[in-house]
Structure 1
């Protein structure tokens, strides 16, 4: 049965409970066995082996594993033939695999432990329960289905419940339904059907929600995983992993690199086979040896340093984001967020502070500053005609009870009059006798309190301005002024609460309806306050930054359309090309029709969890990279499915945090834009690294092919190739991944999901670098343009190739056409490592002859080599200057035309 349908007696009978005495301890234990315990079951924790296997499935890691097998096979074959195997390359590839996987596991493990620690900080809430015919406090984990619990204003609902008795009850269900206003609840409501929407089940309370007003007795109907909250949490655990944009790009890159290596191997194999059969071959003794050497080129083409640079860069960003109070649960999210081009954000608690605030008031004239509040009747109305309370936390007032009442109480507490008089709202309540209260109801839309104030019996009313004004005697002229001010406030989606009073001349019967009406007629209008849920201060700049960065921000909120529209206007999210819609307008639309509208939709009001998830799916299907931010349970499914899910650490529910990739520990929306900037920086650093690596690969393959075609021996010895490989994949190359952020990162458009990680411009730089290095290298190899001695030639070629790579790294730092001098000093780590590498190259060449088979070079030759290699940078700078000059001319011409 659905516990919200039928009468209360049947519900109690079904659960074996009694409203008067509750369950016994024995019955509670039996119900735990039958209905479960009041704890969410944890998702099965992945073992270390499973985590390692998942890390090994990354595309580039998989290619490295394949390369390691080839390298092992080649060396075993050489050893089988009686040759001298070299397992150093094999060891290097294994080291790259182990390092990459280790960094990923350590950083994600570190973040997961921090997240678990965060969860353990949750208070073990004690709940008032009727057990064994007496009222007692027990931990919420020990509650069982059938328990009778007693709740009042400020309590958190520990499990799903059917109301038995209620007094002026309201609950905040925003975390579950997205509705920011408290929902009125009534135990007397009975439904005779079982298809009532969750948000309209007025006789039920749900786990994780808060009592904002009134009190109640309720019977627990579902606990733990069986609650509405638990069902969402379970569904989240069942979601399958979808590839991130980075994983997709690395997958495509892996295929390109593999094809390049295979084609290069085929070309070299074919050339050597032709030479071997047509002209004889003095280098190789068999076809199998030619095949083995060709296969080695496939391994050489694999950038084994890429997984390491990915892992190191992401790890560095995890640490950076932790310092900014952003807990990264999934390490790859650090880069993925840089590709985001759509942010779907909740409103309440994410863009706004989720804290009602009085922004102004009217007491005969308009006041922009709430601190000027000094009208005696309004103040008494605020203090006496409210049920909420305040408490101070971190210098700010927190509300216990209805947030609207809390906001007007806070306005009084912050007023100049409160400061000068020294009387708090609690003092006002204790100093004056409250005779009778007519509580607020959604039908009446106002609340009335009769009090004895300074020996006068006064009826105070607060509520909807339309109703309050009808109770008051006001001149037409004054009424027009008041209505104009109220309209202006409501047009800005501000909530308006009006106040009135009446001094009673005679005693009345408060229980008689006709007497009650006398309290609320011919009243004196005291004024009204305007209330808003303020936008977080950092959000304005963050939204502007997103706009400049080409990122679309969509508000998906459970709030009213008018409120959402006003927030969007304040943030300049909507314009003449965009609009605001309600969920009911688009829920029944087919995907094809909704997809056509998505670009123009900036705000969706009354969003449901299903609709949010649908929107995210449609955006991803069309190629968008989507981030979802939120704090409620209703946000969690979309957060889970998004490319990057971001939860609020303070106001966020535990389910939304569990579903997320990143948790903002300080709820600062501005951290998101900072994270996007870092993510873009990481992506560009990957690109710098790839230009460098592929340039080395291309130049190495071309020099080998041309040397073979020219009948020359291999220009490098085995250990010299190892040293080159260290430069290509080791610390010198990795420092490109630490390149500082460029200033214009957030003024560029986001990288599209299906974009290649290597762009056309990058291919031009790779091909230019590879061909230029090869040409300059072969000129020395064939014609000895530097005039070195024969015994110096091999060392000269070795040193030239190393220096070409070191100098080309400076070209790789600039992805565009900027001069290398612009940011030359920014990456100090790179400058230091490259200086150290060049010093080591000098030592190897001059003093490592026995190990590296080098010959010392004369000082003049060192000077010649450096100047000769510097041609690579000089030509690049000339080309970039020409392109920049052409661009300036085009801009100037366009300006003149305009």
Structure 2
């Protein structure tokens, strides 16, 4: 029985269609309809239990590889290695379980918006019922401060205003009336409708329930949210795909190698099988998932220090990779506080500066605005005050802005109120009679076109043009006037043509100063900022100009978007930066259209209407202070300070984390390839293994995780915010990374076989030669760590050599461990090692330094070549 077109019907027609009347429903009919329609609440969505949410953390191919590696090491009797690998798997699962919230929490937050109690007419009498018991056709009675309990068609309105920012993004309360509107009117323009979850800020009303529960606008958004596909971040998706193929390749290559050694090389099967296991363990980057998770967890702490709270670990990588930020306007780019910024009086034009509702600021040029300020302060029902060091308003935000303006001009304004004519949509003005130092005065404020008709001695046509000019700047315009009042009451009939016009005031929800700088920084980083708001097109364009969007004057409205199919929208979306009067479906379509163009999208917002798009975006960012619970639960990141500038800081931290993740990948793959190729080449050539399977396990144990973990603590590289965002489809195995893997693996192969051959040639035992080869691997990996720390610049600087405390702590620990297994007899027995002569030890370190010099020279040649060609320089891990 919900009426989706109730806004286009007359009051009588709407009541008739719902089978109701001015006295509401009978108790019996209400009970019958409750049974038919169900309670006025959103359906509970059963989520996964805690055990299932924990087990799903193991559903990752690289985790399967880790578990497989633990089985192999267990079968070989290396229980320490098995315990370490299983501990890494468990830590990975625990971190993911703790960080990720329940997916159904957003729906629960929306359910909390429904009012718990409501005043209704039943059998012609006013009664209070549970909000869940409302049914279509009920007549609901509303007063200031009430939360609207269901979608209502207004039947009676007296000075009614409602705050709808959670649905439309509009900064100020909107006027409501019982008059029907056009059938194709957008949600924000349906002035005869009150939406579930919004607030009545002024006036009283009767409204007939036209939709309850999931049929309400809030319920519909909840349905959108439940149906939105949550996208994986680019790196997570690529790593999953890469891990599947890498695992398959390693297993296939190991099987072929086993067959070759047994059938062609005629090696003992047991000996050959253990060698192949060594190859598989060497090739599999078993430390990679753990180090990636730990890197993300470190990023969580870094972002928390920047007031960006991460709810899902992969979101850190996502925010660092975004190429477009789709931002809501109200409360995100703006302060969500109205402020008088422009004044037009018969004496001239004035600009007003200040912050929010603070009665402090500058008016330029100087002039006498005392009478205008007095009218603004006395014809007012709001109050402003300081709470927790911040100026706030009680009442209508526009009236709060007028009080702040009056404070800037005249300080404290006093006057005893004697009579008032409240604002009403029929006469569109408010009048107050006050007695003060200048006697009794009636002050009037209201819509310019109405107040101007009440004034005498002015050029009304000229003032209409001035009001329209302010409105075109995106300002809300009010007119103020006054007259002397001899009596004790206001006679409305005598106001016409008797007022003295004082001036016009233009109000706006101003942009945050820090948002302007943040938008500029994002643009410098190659990130497009797009405003998607439910507010009017003029207001959106004005804010877009002030914050510095690229194309502020080209605005598309929700009505225009509805006329575009998905292909047309995808072609247009990159050239438009301001979208106004949008619905939740519009925001979803815009995010999806940008993603269809291969762009990584961040969506910011604070309202319920933003929740579906926040969930769909690659990185959903909600406001922590003023944001709705639905928005917070749907988002990946929550800004604790509601500051758009924090987004730029989060992008910088995200890029740093992403760089460090790529460094880990660029470190792990070449070193593992080098280890595996060393064994493979020896087996294929029928040579003695230069390093045994147990020694490879030892090297992986002390370097695979520790050295990679050191990269997780790397600081932000210079120029991080000057680089363009990575492409969404940029592959992990870029051409530069493949070349780096081939180069480093070849150098590893040459160095390990070279030192092994050198040792055999000098008459050293096979055990000593293998010990030297094992130490050669470790030294090469340490030097490779210092090279890979600076993928975007040179490693030959004092800062690069100095490193970080974590890097040197890891290097010292690994050096101590290698000296222990090389020179301590108990460990020599376990790993089959012998003491390395001091001269040979220096030779191993010298070869490591030569390796570092070779890869650094190659990088400098690449830097110079790209510089001469005028291209940005790709690091070893970038296309």
Structure 2 length-normalised TM: 0.86
RMSD: 4.0
Cα shift readout 1:784-814 (whole Å, capped 9, x = no counterpart): 3995743632322221222111221111212
Q: For 1:794-849, what per-residue CA distance to the aligned partner results, in whole angstroms no more than 9, with x for missing partners?
A: 32222122211122111121223412534333431121011111111101100022
CA deviation after TM superposition for structure 1 residue 107, in Å: 2.3
Name which of structure 1's ranges 378-387 and 337-346 shifts more when overlaid on structure 2: 378-387
Structure 1 position 301 matched with structure 2 position 283: yes
Question: What's the CA shift string for 1:567-607, capped at 9, x where partnerless?
Answer: 1112221349x832233333212222222222211111221
Cα pair 2:168 2:581 within 8 Å, conserved: no
- Deviation string, structure 1 residues 491-527 (Cα, Å, up to 9, x no partner): 532333222223367999947xxxx3x5232532212
Structure-2 separation of matches of 1:508 and 1:90: 90
Cα pair 1:163 1:219 within 8 Å, conserved? yes
Q: Which moved more, 1:459-468 or 1:606-615?
A: 459-468
Aligned to 2:446: 463
Distance of 2:770 and 2:301 partners within structure 1: 45
Partner of 2:423 in structure 1?
439
Structure 1 pair 563/163, CA: closer, same or farther in 2 (3 Å)?
A: closer
- Of residues 194, 197, 201, the one that matches 1:208 is 197
Q: Secondary structure at the match of 1:156?
A: coil
Q: How many angstroms does 1:555 deviate by?
A: 0.8
Among candidates 361, 366, 384, match of residue 343 of structure 2: 361
Q: Specify which of 278, 298, 313 is matched with residue 295 of structure 2.
A: 313
Distance (whole Å) between structure 1 residues aligned to residue 229 and residue 106 of structure 2: 21
1:59–1:247 contact (8 Å) kept in structure 2: no
Q: Cα 1:16–1:69, aligned 2, differ >3 Å: closer, same or farther?
A: farther
Distance 1:106 1:456, change over 3 A: closer
Q: Deviations over 1:331-370 (max 9, x none)?
A: 2112111111111111112111121101243442444346
**Which residue does 1:896 correspond to in 2?**
none
CA displacement, residues 261-306 of structure 1 (integer Å, 9 cap, x when unaligned): 2464366346525652xxxx4xx324x7646743653343221111
Q: Please say which of residues 451-460 and 686-695 is displaced more in the overlay.
A: 451-460
Specify the alignment match of 1:880 in structure 2: 859
CA contact (8 A) 1:553 1:573 kept: yes
Instruction: Look up the SS of the partner of 2:505 in the other structure.
Output: strand
Verify the 8 A CA contact 1:176 1:633 in the aligned structure 2: yes
Change (3 A) 1:843 1:152: same
* Cα distance, 1:616 vs structure 2: 1.2
Distance 1:229 1:542 in 2: 32
Residue 261 of structure 1: aligned partner: 250
Match of 1:712 in 2: 687
**Cα displacement (A) at 1:547:** 0.7
1:152 aligns with 2:128: no
- Quote the Cα distance in structure 1 between the aligned partners of 2:656 and 2:438: 71
CA 1:762–1:619: 2 relative to 1, 3 Å: same
- Distance, in Å, in 2 between the alignment partners of 1:691 and 1:455 is 79
Q: Which residue of the partner structure matches residue 808 of structure 2?
A: 831
> Relative to structure 2, which stretch is displaced further, 811-820 or 687-696?
811-820
Q: Does 1:334 align with 2:282?
A: no
Looking at structure 2, the residues matched to 650 and 136 of structure 1 have their Cα atoms a distance apart, in angstroms, of 36
- 2:664 pairs, out of 666, 670, 689, with 689
- Choose from 529, 538, 541 the match for 1:562: 538
* Contact 2:525/2:725 (<8 A) preserved: yes
Hey, what's the Cα distance between the residues in 2 that align with 1:328 and 1:713?
Answer: 51
State how 1:687-836 maps to structure 2 within 5 Å. Answer: 687-784=662-759, 787=762, 789-790=764-765, 792-821=768-797, 822-836=799-813
The CA distance in 2 between the partners of 1:799 and 1:291, in whole Å, is: 24
SS at match of 2:625: coil
Equivalent position of 1:858 in the other structure: 837
Specify the SS of the correspondent of 1:432. Answer: strand
Distance 1:120 1:10 in 2: 27
Q: Which residue of 2 aligns with 1:169?
A: 160
* 1:613 CA displacement: 1.1
| Residue 667 of structure 1 pairs with residue 669 of structure 2 | no
Work out which of the residue numbers 553, 571, 590 in structure 2 matches 1:615: 590
d(CA) in 2 for partners of 1:799 and 1:546? 46
Aligned equivalent of 2:175? 184
Residue 844 of structure 1: aligned partner: 821
- CA offsets per residue over residues 374-422 of structure 1, 9 Å max, x none? 645424422343344445433444344432222112322x335334x6x
Offset at 1:533?
0.9
**1:316-465 map, 5 Å:** 316-363=298-345, 364-369=347-352, 375-390=369-384, 392-412=386-406, 414-415=407-408, 417-419=410-412, 423=414, 428=415, 431-434=416-419, 437=421, 439-441=423-425, 445-449=428-432, 458-465=441-448
User: In the alignment, which residue of structure 1 is the partner of 2:874?
Assistant: none
Mapped contact 2:380–2:399 kept (Cα < 8 A):
yes
In 2, Cα distance between equivalents of 1:14 and 1:387: 37
Contact 1:233 1:655 in 2 (8 A): no
Write the mapping of 1:459-538 to structure 2, written as runs, cut at 5 A: 459-465=442-448, 468-469=451-452, 471-474=454-457, 489-503=470-484, 510=491, 516=493, 518-521=494-497, 523-538=499-514
Q: Determine if contact 2:445/2:479 at 8 Å carries over to the other structure.
A: yes
Instruction: Give runs of aligned pairs for residues 43-192 of structure 1, distance below 5 A.
Output: 43-65=45-67, 75=75, 86=78, 90-108=82-100, 149-187=140-178, 189=179
Relative to structure 1, is the Cα distance of residues 632 and 550 closer, same or farther in structure 2, using a 3 angstrom cutoff? same
**Structure 1 unaligned residues grouped into runs of 5+:** 76-83, 893-898
In 2: Cα distance, 1:114 partner to 1:299 partner: 41
Residues in 2 aligned to 1:318 and 1:230: alpha-carbon distance in whole angstroms: 33
Kindly tell me: are residues 92 and 113 of structure 1, through their superposed partners in 2, closer, same or farther at Cα, counting changes over 3 Å? Answer: farther
Unaligned runs of 5+ in 2: 353-360, 872-879
Asked if structure 2 preserves the Cα contact closer than 8 Å seen for 1:156 and 1:210, the reply is: yes
Q: For residues 396 and 696 of structure 1, do their structure 2 counterparts lie closer, same or farther at Cα, with a shift above 3 Å needed? A: closer
Q: Distance in 2 between matches of 1:585 and 1:219?
A: 31
Change in Cα spacing, 1:238 to 1:120, as seen in structure 2 (3 Å) is closer
Deviates more, 1:795-804 or 1:292-301: 292-301
Deviations 1:636-695 (A, max 9, x none): 221121111122222222332232222223211122222222222222212211222112
- Matched position secondary structure for 1:520: coil
Distance in 1 of aligned mates of 2:535 and 2:243: 46
What CA distance in whole angstroms lies between the structure 1 residues aligned with 2:196 and 2:260? 73
Contact 1:724–1:802 (8 Å) recurs in 2: yes
Change (3 A) 1:828 1:141: farther
Give the 3 Å change call, closer, same or farther, for CA 313–122 of structure 1 in structure 2: farther
Secondary structure of the residue that 1:105 maps to in structure 2? helix
Q: What CA distance in whole angstroms lies between the structure 1 residues aligned with 2:48 and 2:613?
A: 23
Structure 2 CA distance, aligned partners of 1:581 and 1:145? 35
1:633 paired residue number: 608
8 Å contact from structure 2 (residues 584, 609) kept in 1: yes
Task: Work out whether residues 160 and 204 of structure 2, in 8 Å CA contact, stay in contact via their aligned partners in 1.
Answer: yes
When normalised by structure 1's length, the TM-score is: 0.84
Alignment correspondent of 2:218: 229
State yes or no: 1:867 paired with 2:858.
no
Asked if structure 2 preserves the Cα contact closer than 8 Å seen for 1:819 and 1:880, the reply is no
CA distance in 2, matches of 1:320, 1:38: 43
CA distance in 1, matches of 2:336, 2:261: 73
Which one is further off, 116-125 or 863-872? 116-125
C-alpha distance in structure 1 between counterparts of 2:286 and 2:662, whole Å:
15
